[in-house]
Copies of this chain bind each other. A is one copy, B any other.
Amino acid sequence: MSSSFNQVTVLGAGVLGAQISFQIAYRGFEVTTYEVSDAALKQARQRFKGIAAVYPTEVEGATAAAAQETVERIRFTTQLASAVQGADLVIEAVPESLELKRDVFARIAASAPPAAVFVTNSSTLVPSELMDSTGRPDRFLALHFANHIWVNNMAEVMSSPNTDPRVYQRVLAFAKDIGMVPIELHKEQRGYIVNSLLGPFLMAAADLLLRGVAEPNTIDTTWRIATGAPKGPFELFDIIGLRTAYAVASAGGPDRQAWANYLKRNYIDQGKLGVESGEGFYIYPMS
């Protein structure tokens, strides 16, 4: 089936929002990118430039000319009502706050076409926490992308109990249309599939370290040899970023607090944030 979405609005042009806008526009859709201010839009334009530069080197068959033309085709606006006018699909990628997201959906509910489908890219919320703010629970669900979207090209698609199954199917088709592997979830799951697997796995590794069983590089080596995986858990922690790992652990139960404290004391307080800062559990050459 075809998604029959033509005009797509992406709310938010942060790291992931910009990647989403670019990927969709590159695949031929009409894209409008919304940001809160001219300053934010200016920053977004820089992000798009960076993406256009790297995209042809990382995506098979992509050309610099097409990447350049993609950026030129994206429409930018700071007007929320105008951003969603005529949209077939609105992708919400604003900062991860329940209140902010609910407020944004409430504000666009009246301006967007009644038939428009809304999706959230939230990593930590589930659609049923947001649906009543959208004015269209049956045309609302989650479409969740991973960072570095054109390489980690999967999109997790997750309905609330109120989502119309035909809308779910259209969003699955859209994910395929934009070059993603659609990941079908049959019910709401906080953390979707990726984080539901990563969480217990990473905490098991953290637990071995906290209890002094083995060193991070020993644990990583073991996992790589045993499973053939390219990265062990502490290499993944460094990629995810130790501030994110800290935030997740801090929000967890009492057993997670020891890990949050360990990360803060030994890494974050010393400016070791993982790959992004050049050092975490490992040292990374800065380019």
Of B156, B187, B193, B228, which one neighbours A231 at CB under 8 angstroms? B228
Given contacts A193-B218, A193-B219, A200-B201, contact A181 B227 (CB under 8 A): no
Asked whether, in the complex, the Cβ of B225 is within 8 Å of the Cβ of A208, the reply is no
User: Which candidate, A28-36, A70-78, A146-154, is the interface stretch facing chain B?
Assistant: A146-154
Closest to A184 in B: B218
Asked whether, in the complex, the Cβ of A197 is within 8 Å of the Cβ of B233, the reply is yes
Q: Give the docked Cα–Cα distance between A187 and B211 (Å).
A: 9
Q: Within 8 Å of chain B (Cβ to Cβ): is A222?
A: yes
Q: Give the docked Cα–Cα distance between A233 and B197 (Å).
A: 9
Q: Within 8 Å of chain B (Cβ to Cβ): is A221?
A: yes
Could you mark each residue 216-238 of chain A with 1 if its beta carbon is under 8 Å from any beta carbon of chain B, else 0? 00110111011111110100100
Given contacts A183-B214, A222-B156, A227-B236, contact A201 B197 (CB under 8 A): yes
Asked whether, in the complex, the Cβ of B194 is within 8 Å of the Cβ of A200, the reply is no
Given contacts A193-B218, A221-B154, A222-B193, contact A187 B212 (CB under 8 A): yes
Q: Within 8 Å of chain B (Cβ to Cβ): is A271?
A: no
Q: Within 8 Å of chain B (Cβ to Cβ): is A169?
A: no
**Shortest Cβ gap from A126 to chain B (Å):** 12
Could you mark each residue 127-166 of chain A with 1 if its beta carbon is under 8 Å from any beta carbon of chain B, else 0? 0000000000000000000100000111010000000000
Of B193, B204, B222, B231, which one neighbours A154 at CB under 8 angstroms? B222
**Shortest Cβ gap from A140 to chain B (Å):** 19
**Shortest Cβ gap from A119 to chain B (Å):** 18
